[in-house]
Amino acid sequence: MELLVSNTTSSSSATRSALQQINSLVLREHSMDTLLQAVVDATKATLPGYVDSSISLVVGNRPTTAVYSGQLALDLDESQYERGHGPCLHAATTGELVEITDARSDTRWPDYTSRAVERGSRSSLSVPLPMTGLQAGLNVYATEPRAFDDDTRTAAEEFARAAAVSISNMHAYQTARDVADNLEVAMQSRSVIDQAKGILMERHELTAEQAFQVLVHASQGTNRKLREVADHLVATGELVQPRRRR
């Protein structure tokens, strides 16, 4: 998914344009991955200089990179996962923004920062996603030291919020779809059971309750779901019967 954002545009207007495009994405046309991919692609396209971006998730103490804009971001995320520490993990698990202004002199995670320098990243910004019940962060890796100013930090925080909103909205949408699907299945089951009851009522001059109890007895006696017994009766005209013991 390509977002048409130019680095020649001013930082604030480019950020607004990218966020508008992200917010306009239609949930039913996208997955969680494509929504989050739009966020990291917009982060890369909008922030000045050469940067790579990723989103880290920590589920059950196991970190993973959900999406990334380039190999640099993936490599440095995974370098931190292997060590069990680093700026992206700290941001995701503590909710604190972490900035490395110059990886050559930062002393907090020396084994990681030496790897970052080796891979060509001199500075980075890790922004926690503001969500309840989920540990996640937006990571931005830059090739130049001191790559982030107040405007770019603000932009990164806005993209992190957009990612959090995307996750929340997609979760709500999927939950609603699951509820709708379950209701549809329930309505279909009720419809076929009502049809089966009608057959029994007409055939044996039963009340609705008596016909329902006949279906329940057949279901229990054959160890089949009530819906399956009703389906069979509607389709074949025959009520399934339990096998007789010899």
Question: Using CA atoms, how far apart are residues 208 and 124, in angstroms rounded to an integer?
Answer: 70
For the residues 17-40, what does the mean pLDDT come to? Answer: 68
pLDDT digits 0-9 by tens, 149-189: 998 898 889 888 888 887 777 666 566 666 556 556 666 77
Q: Which of 65, 64, 128, 66 is nearest to 93 (CA)?
A: 128
The radius of gyration computed from the CA coordinates of the chain, to the nearest angstrom, equals 28
Domains of the chain (ranges, CATH numbers): 11-176 (3.30.450.40), 187-236 (1.10.10.10)
- Tell me the helix, strand and coil percentages in the chain, rounded to 5: 60, 15, 30
Q: Taking the CA of residue 77 as centre, how many other CA atoms within 13 Å lie in the half-sphere pointing to its CB?
A: 28
Q: What is the pLDDT of residues 29-53, one digit of tens each?
A: 557 678 788 888 888 888 888 899 9
CA 170 to chain centre: 7
Its pTM stands at: 0.63
215-224 CB contacts, 8 Å cutoff, 24+ apart: 218/242
